[in-house]
Each structure stands twice: as C-alpha cells, then as structure tokens.
Structure 1
C-alpha cells in the first residue's frame, strides 16, 4: 500500500506549481499513506485531507495546527497550477471547466471553484479560479474478491442485479470498479466467463477516462460513456454496444430508475451504487423505493469505513435476507 500511495502522489506532482510541489515532496510517509486530497485555496493555507480530516501543511511538509504556521497559497501558485492541469490551453479544457473538474493521468481528479461565466442563463465555464482540489484515486485490485461468490450467479454465468450501498468516502466506487474488472477479465477459478461491460461514467470517477482512455484497469471488455447523464447513457449503450452488463455510479434520479427497468427487461445485468448508511436511509430514497419494493436488485452490498474504506458489512438478497456476514 505504501508503494501505491507514493505512486499516486508522484502522478499528481507534475501538475502542481513547483513551490507547492516542493512542500508536498517533503511530506513524511505517514501523511502520504493516508493522503486523500490536496487543496489549494487562494491566499489561504495549503491543506491536505487524511482519513476524512483536513490539516494544514507548513513549508517543511509537516502538518500545522495553526494558520500562521502553514504555507499560504499565492496567486502565482494557483495560476501556474491551472496552466499545468490545462496543458497551457484553457480553451481545450473548456468543457471540463464547465463541469467543474478534470481528470489527470492515473484517474486522479482536480475539482475547480471560481467565478462562474453564464451564457443564456446556463453555466458556460469557470474563470478566476480560487480553489483547486486534487482528489487521489486509488484502485484496490482484489477488493471485490470476497464478494464474488455472493454477487455472481454461477449457474447463469451472469452477475446478479447488484446495488452497492455506502456512506460517502466508504469505497463504493472502488468496489464497483474492481467488480467490473473481475467480470471483464473473467474468473477462471469460478468457471465464470468474461463478459462485456458498458460503463456510464457521468462524473468521470468510475473509469476516469482521459482522452477516451480509462485511467483504471477495468479489463479488456469495457466500453465507457463518460460525462453523460446516467439515464440517457444506459439506454445509449444498450443500443450501441449491446453490453451484457451495465455499470454506473450513484443512482437516485427518477430517470435512472426508468433506465434500470429497461436494462432489466432486456436481460442486461445491472451493477450500481447509492449513498446510504442503512436500510432505513436506503428506503427513504423516494425513487429507489420502487426498485426495492419490486425486488429488482437481487443483491445489496453494504459497505462502511469501520475497518477502513471498503469494509463489507454484509450482502443481502432481494428478500432482505443476509447471505454473507461482515468482514
């Protein structure tokens, strides 16, 4: 894990202004191991997020409890960093700026905040960037392996319709990504064949495509539609790529539910996720209640951070019966 953390940091450093890069390179391994985000805010302290807590960094790469002791991000720092992430051409990344984020090699994301430029009442782009948030993307190959006997229908050689449920930052996207990877490669030890998977990546987090290429290993049999609303994307992929499995992240809107019904009725297996911490919270999601009551999902995987992100609390079937215990 330490090598993975160091590699992830090395992948984002070339896109950060040199003065801040030098501070980050001084961080001790204890910080690097838990690094989730690096935040640059104009005229405010350089900050990092570790285990869901934010800390300021001083010039020596150590955490500082005081604002006065922290490194202050300058206008020059921000401007140089924006130039680096946009490769010197803001026009080429206008769509990414309109979306409020862009993807770096390795699947890491940079969130942006600044002055909104409107055109016809709609957001056209962002200017005068005042905040940048580098979010570290860590794939965890093998994280979904404990789930395989429970979410795969070995007799039909298809995955069950599966909903991964977790609170924010508890590993649901990472778990879904690894499940897709297993299915795309095939699982010889379970005599499970490789299947084609269509991915609708509305927020560019699941595949994290950059110039059309997924930045995570999703296997050889995936087709990705990114920056596309989930409802439209699922139907589009169904018609254009004829997937055997559809995967998408964070469902919740009425249109998502309609599209999932169409997938189910055409024989496509659905793998998706939702934010919730319990059955009670899940059933309070108004549009999802229809799918739950209709027993569309055959498996519910609940995750938490109890032992770190990706802790499997249990797998339940469509009757809400536990099929495996927590890890």
Structure 2
C-alpha cells in the first residue's frame, strides 16, 4: 500500500461516495474551514496503484505558539487499520511537518489499539441519532407530548419550508441565530463563517435551510447538512415566538420527514450531553436542557470514543494541552459574563 496527496476534486469525491464517508470528510467541508485550517487530501493506493480510500486532513498553526497541528475528523472504523495509520503517520510527520495529529471518530468502538487518547475534542462527544424507518414508525416513536405539540404548531399556523440555495433563507437563518445568541450563553461563529458554510455546502448539494414561519414571520430555522447516509442538524433553533407556538417540534419533525423522503436513513441531532451513572444527562452540562428536548424524537444516544492522537513532538503537544486548558477556561468565563 502507498499514500499520496490527491488534488483532483472529482477523483477524491468518487471515492468519498463509494465509502459513504462523513460530510466532514467531504472536499467542500475542507474549503469551508479555510483559511484557519488548510485541507490536504490523501489517497491510499493498492499494489496496482488503484485508489482504495481517501482521507481529508486539516492542518493549521495553533496560536499563540505557532504549533503546527493536524486534525482528521469523523473517520469510520472501516477506514482505519495499522498499515494505513503507519503510512499516514509518516506522511503527517515528513510531508505535513506537524507536531501531532488529532483523530476523531464516527463509530462507537471504544479504542483504537496502541494509539494514545486525549479528552480534547472538536466535535461533540455524544449525539442523538434517529434511525428513520417509515413516517408512521417515526411518528409512533415520538413522545406523546411531542405529537401533541406538533399538532398544536400546525393548528397555530406554523409552516416549514426547505431551501437548497439562496440569500433569503440564509438571512432568515442568521436572524434566528442572532436571537438565540442574544438570549442564551451560546458563543457562535460570525456571519462570514455561516455564509461560507451555506455557499460551499449548498453548491455541492450537501446543505439545506429549513425555515419555520408563523403568519409569514420567521420563528425558527435550521442549517442542515447531509452526506450519503444522514442529515445533520448542525445549527439553528427557534425564536421566543417560535417557542410559544411550539414551532421547534414541527421544525424537527418536518426535517426528519424531509430526510426520509430524500432516501437517507438517519437524522443526527448533532450534540447531546453525556449521561451519568443513573442514565440522566449530566447536570450542569451546557447541552443538558437541549439534550432532553432532542431525546423525545425517537432516537438513540451515541457516544464516540476519545480522540486518538499521533504525537511526533512531545514538548509541543504538552504546550498545546496547556493552551487548550486556558482556552477552555476563557470560553467558560465568556459564557458566564454573557449570562450575567
């Protein structure tokens, strides 16, 4: 087996589709993350020189110490074996010249053998994922209260529409995000990031915006991503008026129905709190309240393994760990100040 850098988008995406890889491994996601992260795409070749797998790795210089790091998001368990990891480790060290590589997973295998782990992660530790079978089954799997609230929203006149492109739906989505930001402890991206995300992903058929209206006024919106298997509810929520009209329940339900109608098998709520020993969402976790809401739509909680880390420079890795601890404290302080 051999590893090479791949620069042809169509060649990369052909293998991405065959592997049914995660949307964060899509070429367009790498473009979204520029210029903070620089994407590099690699291909693994068999003895005949044919591509058998592709990975997208993101590289950046981590401030304030300019430590060069790499990040592999959402690898499947089928993507990983010792031979690939050894080839990739050499490539990352010699070609990418990084101090270490963070590897986050899209599977529930508890541990990849012989690779150190860290508690640091970029994507959520746990999520709630709905296995979409049929509209009837999905409806029956909702909590009874949720079915009542969906019907209440419909009686109130809430309507949900979906958009594959356009400035108007983005404006509506960002309006909702601004209201959520103003009324919660959410620390969110700026408008430029969301615009770039919407443009890049929608142009590649990987994004939709769902907007909930009441009397032609926007009361909720989601920015949804998808790959070959799953819809991911990445960002969004409802306004105060949306909460009063139960628009959030209808918005989620219609998004699940849309996913099923598109032929996809799963709806990922993208982020819930981990559970404690009693099976309850961890008290005080920033996702505790929203996790309880998400759990009523018939899905199952999924928690991913700790991040694996390939370390090439131990000193720089320890400096990075210290810096991330300081960053975590700063973010917590910002949230406390914002809510006070």
TM-score norm. by structure 2 comes to 0.31
Greater helix content = 2
Structure showing greater relative contact order (alpha-carbon pairs closer than 8 Å, 6 or more residues apart): 2
TM-score norm. by structure 1 comes to 0.32
